[in-house]
């Protein structure tokens, strides 16, 4: 880590409309992921593993469970002058909430003025990835630029899904253009079939960041967004550099998950990211002990697999089962079960994501579904088998056929 004072800001005010109904009662960064985690745990784990010890989480939308998770899970020792602090919108600049990610920083400049850092790392709170930010910080300092944008290589066919970075021909470390979801993207010079997509992670010189958000705050034509307004302003002035994730070496990473990054902003991408976890050689490996993903470990017993009254043990294939769960004579396949999940005799779960304390009753069938916290699937009921029937009883079904059962809902036969 560079011998400079580093400060971390996690932008966690996202509403997450495309993840409804999972975000009906919680902020997007607080959505459970991978059994025992929340989405925000990935950003915070990367920052902590990278050596950052002073981090704030800027929250806004339905932030109670997110604030509670940060306060209970991310307690750092005060003796080391280290902290992860949740900071809600404070209306310091008038009776208004954050109008964008840049405005969130503008309204929180007191944090920077108190800490007086040299470098500020700004990251989103809802991506699944591993990254050593200390290496990006070193590259940023060496570049001499005021802003460095983290980027990941993506197939050119997917360019219309990302903010795409185009590089200067003479200086490949300089961003020449930043285009939002282009349909005519140009491939990289060293890889014509790929583009550089912004990861939504930035490193700034602190004084330059402060100046940028102050100037942006005075603009009436701005949406006050980091990716939509701040970065393009730096690009237009030839002051924005790029950091290619291909240059990042995370301890313990494998060739299969080395450059993994996924935006889980929609139900489909959220579902697909879970499928990336469960194979024998996972696309994203949760079992990397050299770069762990931290979260709150509930005071829970181990998961338990028991025979049912018929003496049938059941089967669990290509799945993750969290602490406190009890499976009795059930069939579980390609699924991820959160803490304290109960699945009873004869039940079947295939291609499912299950949050904390859900209960699936005897002989119930659940396929290609997401069950939120405290859901009960009653004996003999089915979910994800007939999409029209699921819609008829008020459940959300995506165009790709994923059924979502909202928090606390009971599904009868």
Q: What is the pLDDT of residue 278?
A: 92
Q: What is the per-residue pLDDT for 95?
A: 65
Banded model confidence at residue 340, pLDDT cuts 50, 70, 90:
very high
Per the prediction, the chain carries an average pLDDT of: 91
Residue 171: band (very low, low, confident or very high) from pLDDT cuts 50, 70, 90: confident
Which residue(s) pair with 244 in the sheet? 151
Give residue 50's pLDDT: 96
Residue 367 DSSP SS3: strand
Count of CA atoms in the C-beta half-sphere (13 A) of 326: 12
The pLDDT value recorded for residue 77 is 66
CA–CA gap between residue 340 and residue 302 (Å, rounded)? 10
The Cβ of residue 83 has, within 10 Å, a number of other Cβ atoms equal to 14
pLDDT tens-digit map of 356-397 = 999 999 999 999 999 999 999 999 999 999 999 999 999 999
Q: Does 163 appear as a known binding residue?
A: yes
pLDDT band, residue 301 (cuts 50/70/90): very high
Give CA–CA dist 413/401, Å, rounded: 20
Query: What kind and span of H or E run contains 210?
Result: helix 206-217
* DSSP H or E run through 106: helix 101-106
Q: With pLDDT > 70 as the criterion, what percentage of the chain qualifies?
A: 97
Give Cα separations from 30 to 26, 38, 223, 293 (angstroms): 6, 5, 25, 15
Tens of pLDDT, residue by residue over 251-275, are 999 888 889 999 898 999 999 999 9
Q: Please determine whether the domains at 6-275 and 304-411 fall in the same fold group of CATH.
A: no
Tens digit of each residue's pLDDT (9 = 90 or more) over 59-84: 888 878 888 988 888 887 666 688 89
pLDDT at position 206 is: 96
User: Is residue 10 a contact partner of residue 58, using CB atoms and an 8 Å limit?
Assistant: yes
Average pLDDT over residues 135-140: 97
Task: Give the per-residue pLDDT at 79.
Answer: 60
Beta strands in 89-174 (DSSP E): 119-124, 127-129, 147-155, 163-167
16 vs 95 pLDDT, higher one: 16
Backbone torsions φ then ψ of 321, nearest 5 degrees: -125, 125
What superfamily would CATH give domain 6-275?
A: Spore Coat Polysaccharide Biosynthesis Protein SpsA; Chain A (3.90.550.10)
Q: Are strands 163-167 and 175-180 parallel, antiparallel or unpaired?
A: antiparallel
Kindly report the backbone phi and psi dihedral angles of residue 84, in degrees, each rounded to the nearest multiple of 5, phi listed first. Answer: -125, 115
Strands 175-180 and 240-244, by their bridges, are unpaired
Q: What is the pLDDT of residue 92?
A: 64
In a 3-state reduction of DSSP, which class is residue 306? strand
pLDDT of residue 303: 94
- pLDDT for the residue 364: 97
- 5 annotated to a ligand binding site: no
CB 338 within 8 A of CB 358: yes
Instruction: Give, in order, the Cα–Cα distances in Å from 6 to each of 77, 209, 393.
Output: 18, 13, 51
Q: Which of 296-300, 335-339, 345-349 has the lowest mean pLDDT?
A: 296-300
Give the residue-averaged pLDDT of 167-188: 89
pLDDT at 146: 93
Q: Is 181 marked as binding a ligand?
A: yes
- H or E stretch at 113: helix 109-115
**Assigned token pair, 302:** 């181990």
Tally of CB atoms within 10 A around 93:
11
In the predicted structure, residue 2 carries a pLDDT above the cut 60: no
Bridge pairing between strands 403-405 and 326-328: unpaired
pLDDT for the residue numbered 228:
86
Q: Are 48 and 306 in contact (CB under 8 A)?
A: no
Residue 176 has pLDDT above 90, yes or no: yes
What pLDDT does residue 217 have? Answer: 84
Averaged pLDDT for residues 214-224: 86
> What average pLDDT does range 206-232 have in this prediction?
89
What is the per-residue pLDDT across 7-63, written as a single tens digit (0 to 9) for each? Answer: 999 999 777 788 999 999 898 999 999 999 999 999 999 999 999 999 999 988 887
User: Given this model, what pLDDT does residue 91 score?
Assistant: 65
- Alpha helices of 18-108 — where are they, by DSSP H? 40-49, 64-73, 101-106
Q: Are 104 and 59 in contact, with CB atoms under 8 Å apart?
A: no
**Per-domain residue ranges of the chain:** 6-275, 304-411
pLDDT higher than 80, residue 137: yes
Which pLDDT score, from 0 to 100, does residue 397 have?
A: 96
- At 218 the pLDDT is 83
**Would the pLDDT of 316 be above 60?**
yes
**Does the annotation flag 269 for ligand binding?**
no
Q: In this predicted structure, what is the pLDDT of residue 93?
A: 61
Report, at the CATH architecture level, how domain 304-411 is classified: 3 Solenoid (2.160)
Of 123, 83, 113, which is closest to residue 263 (Cα–Cα)? 123
């Amino acid at each position: 880590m560079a011998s400079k004072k580093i400060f971390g800001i996690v932008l966690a005010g996202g509403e997450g409309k495309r993840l409804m109904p999972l975000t009906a009662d919680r902020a997007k960064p607080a959505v459970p992921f991978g059994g025992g985690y929340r989405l925000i745990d990935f950003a915070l784990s990367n920052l902590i593993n990278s050596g950052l010890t002073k981090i704030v989480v800027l929250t806004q939308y339905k932030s109670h469970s997110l604030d509670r998770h940060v306060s209970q899970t991310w307690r750092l020792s005060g003796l080391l002058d280290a902290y992860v602090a949740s900071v809600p919108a404070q209306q310091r600049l008038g009776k208004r909430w954050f109008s964008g990610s840049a405005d969130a920083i503008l309204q929180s400049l007191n944090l920077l003025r108190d800490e007086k850092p040299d470098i500020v790392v700004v990251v989103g709170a809802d991506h699944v990835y591993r990254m050593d930010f200390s290496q990006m910080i070193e590259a940023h300092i060496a570049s001499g630029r005021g802003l460095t944008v983290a980027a990941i290589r993506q197939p050119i066919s997917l360019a219309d899904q990302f903010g795409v970075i185009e590089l200067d021909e003479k200086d490949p470390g300089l961003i020449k253009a930043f285009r939002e979801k282009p349909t005519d993207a140009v491939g990289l010079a060293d890889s014509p079939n790929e583009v550089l997509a912004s990861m939504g992670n930035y490193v700034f010189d602190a004084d330059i960041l402060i100046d940028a958000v102050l100037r942006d705050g005075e603009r009436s034509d701005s949406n006050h967004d980091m990716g939509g307004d701040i970065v393009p302003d730096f690009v237009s002035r030839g002051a924005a550099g790029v950091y290619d994730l291909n240059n990042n070496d995370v301890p313990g990473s494998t060739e299969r998950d080395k450059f993994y990054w996924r935006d889980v902003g929609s139900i489909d991408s959220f579902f697909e990211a879970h499928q990336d976890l469960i194979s024998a050689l996972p696309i994203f490996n949760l079992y990397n002990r050299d770069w762990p993903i931290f979260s709150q470990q509930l005071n829970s017993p181990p998961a338990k697999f028991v025979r049912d009254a018929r003496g049938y043990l059941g089967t669990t294939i290509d799945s993750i089962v969290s602490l406190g769960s009890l499976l009795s004579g059930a069939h579980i396949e390609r699924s991820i079960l959160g803490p304290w999940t109960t699945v009873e005799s004869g039940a079947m779960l295939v291609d499912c994501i299950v949050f904390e304390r859900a209960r699936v009753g005897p002989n119930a069938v659940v396929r290609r579904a997401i069950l939120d916290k405290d859901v009960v699937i009653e004996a003999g009921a089915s979910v994800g088998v007939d999409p029209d029937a699921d819609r008829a009883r008020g459940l959300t079904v995506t165009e790709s056929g994923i059924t979502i059962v909202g928090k606390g809902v009971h599904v009868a036969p």
